Homo-oligomer: A and B are copies of this chain.
């Protein structure tokens, strides 16, 4: 099986520099994974993602199960072929979406019974069902169903959720061992983080993989990330600003367009605003991770982390 994880170096602070081999390519870690919830990263084509150097995307089990359906995607040759994405795909279990999006959810040891946020239809998501859906999608890295609880929570409630999730993981593992797809190696994946200045801190804690909607969602809300801090591009101060979003950035948007033009596109509510801003922000996140990997190799991640934080704590530039 084309699946292995090797840690090439661990720095003094605990950060790991590794390589994760998947059936759809090898990923340099630590890695940031753009989020393609419904089999698309909002505002970016797969060509653009390839140009940006993304080696792995996240897709969402809950959303794809409800629409267009994992069986349909399976019939059409699996998720890679359906969305024309030849590189790796990680799917989450749907646990968080059932917790946060679905209606009338009821959690038992069996699984989660819920109503779809799309049409109110009733479904049961069990650890085995979550595994079955992800197998049908053909994801390279699957997640086990987890029980998500609201925080803060009393200790007994948190412990019960951990016990149930661990039992669900055992059942999912049994399901997969029918299918023998679980990797023996263990990269560490922290789901749904984070802000630009937090990425290096998580890596320092030994995290190998992260994903977050922040770069794409912030882009659609006119918040651009730069090497100097956040640029809130709707601000009137950028109306005549002929500089690129980030003069230090090499992305195709920064090579061509000005802040004045981006601001105009957002003011006019144009689709192209989201396209250009998303392209830049995803480039920024992937570029930061490249810098973090380099910093681990050269042993200066702590310095990189503190510089990054200093630029971002000051608020928008």
Contacts and interface: CB of A to CB of B under 8 A. Distances in A.
Copies of this chain, tallied across the complex: 2
A249 interface: no
A4 interface: no
Contacts of A68: 239, 260, 263-264, 267
Interface residues of A, number: 40
A43 B43 CA distance: 9
A110 to B, nearest CB: 29
A276 interface: yes
Given A239-B68, A257-B84, A264-B68, A272 B47 contact: no
A83 B261 contact: yes
Contacts of A47: 252, 256
A124 interface: no
Which of A72, A240, A271 has the most chain B CB within a 10 Å cutoff? A271
Interface stretch (A34-42, A125-133, A166-174, A292-300): A34-42
A76 B263 CA distance: 13
Given A38-B268, A240-B76, A43 B275 contact: yes
A45 interface: yes
Contacts of A83: 261
Nearest to A260: B76
Contacts of A67: 264, 267-268
Interface in A79-135: 82-84
22 contacts: A39-B265, A41-B272, A42-B271, A43-B271, A43-B275, A45-B276, A47-B252, A63-B268, A67-B267, A67-B268, A68-B263, A68-B264, A68-B267, A75-B240, A76-B258, A77-B242, A82-B261, A82-B264, A84-B258, A84-B261, A271-B271, A271-B275
Closest 7 pairs (CB-CB, A-B): A38-B268, A40-B272, A43-B271, A68-B264, A84-B256, A40-B270, A42-B271
Interface of A: 38-47, 63, 67-68, 72, 75-77, 82-84, 239-240, 242, 252, 256-258, 260-261, 263-265, 267-268, 270-272, 274-276
